[in-house]
Amino acid sequence: MSQVAANVAATSTATPRKLATWAWALWDWAEQPYPTIIQTFIFATYITSSAFGDKDANTSLLSVGNMVAAILVAVTAPVFGRRSDETGKRKFWLLVNSGVLIAIMAGSYFVLPSPAFLLFGVALYAIGSVVQETAFINYYAMLRQVTTPKNMGKVSGLAWGLGYVGGIILLLFSLIGFVLPDHPWFGVSTDAAANIRILFLLSAVWMLVFTIPLALFVPEVPAKAGLTKETLAQSYRSLFAQLKRLRKNSPDALRFLIASAVYRDGLAGVFTYGAILGAVAFGFTTTQVIFYGIAANIVAGIGAALGGWLDDKLGTKVTIAGSLFGLLLAGLGVFVFAGAGQITYWVGGLILCLFVGPAQASSRTFVARFTPDGREGEIFGIYQTTGKITSFLSPTFWLLATGIAGALGVAHTAIFGILGLMVVLGVGLWMLLRVHPNPLLND
């Protein structure tokens, strides 16, 4: 009888854990409208279009907004992470960040296609970037709350894959229903870009609905005992003290944070310059670029899910290193066989995307594995900060590679940009190989 009672108790404990796990993973799907609709494909191209004035000037202003946002994230991320750990408000702040993102997407509907609304649009975009990065700190820190050491990689990969799938569904829905047709769905007018702006409202509704499971089923972390209120200055002093302790007592953990910052920027560059490479180097039309982007996200999602399974079986560092090695081979293949035409990019480029997902998902898993209980927000705050500090690497090496090719008299320099990205990924892989597969984080 006691064994029966024990089984019932185990089942009742496992059910909330499963709900929490799925609810956590679903947030990757929930927030996907922001990177897909707002940051990349629709809102960003909307506010830099000729409807808002000179396209080059609009792009420059958006770049300034991105730069300011990156600086704010780099400065504030570690402090926000520390405070959520100590006050026991990790889920609370993630929900607050989610609410602000929802409001920003809804507010984007009111950015009318006129130069008078350009600054408003850029401000919304920049603020949203800061809020999203801050949200990731608490979201990543929750990974250990909803997993075990045995399934952490699989859950992280599943969540990342869900995000990619959500992005594809959103993009297809937007293109087929509102962007491409002369008569958008539901009788929406094309006047004043209403067919474009309605997508921002729909994005807000999407995130609101799919964030509800996290609010209901993921538990909050307890506050630390004997907590005393810490000023902003004290938070920074504590942060710098922690970095010194990392260097002295946990060098491998610090090495990984630095190595991942380098190769994660290379991963970001693969997606950032992917469309440019297809259009400029391989002559893709706008429609081909869109469909290539859809295929790229599908393949990356599959890769993230498979990589999560390999993470638990082979180890996190092995999964990341293998993914980076695969990226280097695929990238060099695209460069070497570029003369074969578009088929090279359809095959080699999609192989690149296959390895991006596992490297991204397993990177956050690696941090979660070596971080002690109660300090997840703090360490993921540093993880986000280091990523922002190195965000200049991919564009710099892309420009260097294409610039050198141009100086040597090469007619079509864009294909050489991929060599610049491979340098960043290669350096990141070299740095990763110097990291112990199971670093200890000591005080």
Mean pLDDT in each 10-residue stretch from start to end of the chain (443 residues)?
A: 39 60 87 82 76 73 73 71 64 90 94 90 88 82 76 75 81 81 82 86 93 87 61 68 73 83 82 66 69 79 79 83 92 85 85 84 78 66 70 74 80 78 91 81 55
Q: Are 350 and 296 in contact (CB under 8 A)?
A: yes
Q: How far is CA 327 from CA 277, 299, 324, in A?
A: 16, 13, 5
Q: How far is CA 359 from CA 204, 237, 312, 429, 438, in A?
A: 29, 32, 14, 11, 17
The structure tokens listed for 83 are 């405070």
Structure confidence at residue 205 (pLDDT): 94
In whole angstroms, what is the distance from residue 208 CA to residue 205 CA? Answer: 5
Structure confidence at residue 8 (pLDDT): 32
Q: Are 312 and 150 in contact (CB under 8 A)?
A: yes
Q: How many residues does the chain have?
A: 443
**Cβ-Cβ contacts under 8 Å for 161 (sequence gap 6 or more):** 301, 302, 304, 305, 308, 357, 361
Q: Which residue has the tokens 């469909």?
A: 291
Going from the N-terminus, what domains does the chain have, and what CATH number goes with each? 14-212+232-433 (1.20.1250.20)
In whole angstroms, what is the distance from residue 167 CA to residue 31 CA? Answer: 9
The structure tokens listed for 441 are 């984080």
Structure confidence at residue 329 (pLDDT): 92
Q: Are 27 and 210 in contact (CB under 8 A)?
A: yes
Structure confidence at residue 212 (pLDDT): 93
H-only helix segments in 315-416: 316-336, 342-344, 350-370, 376-389, 393-407
Structure confidence at residue 202 (pLDDT): 92
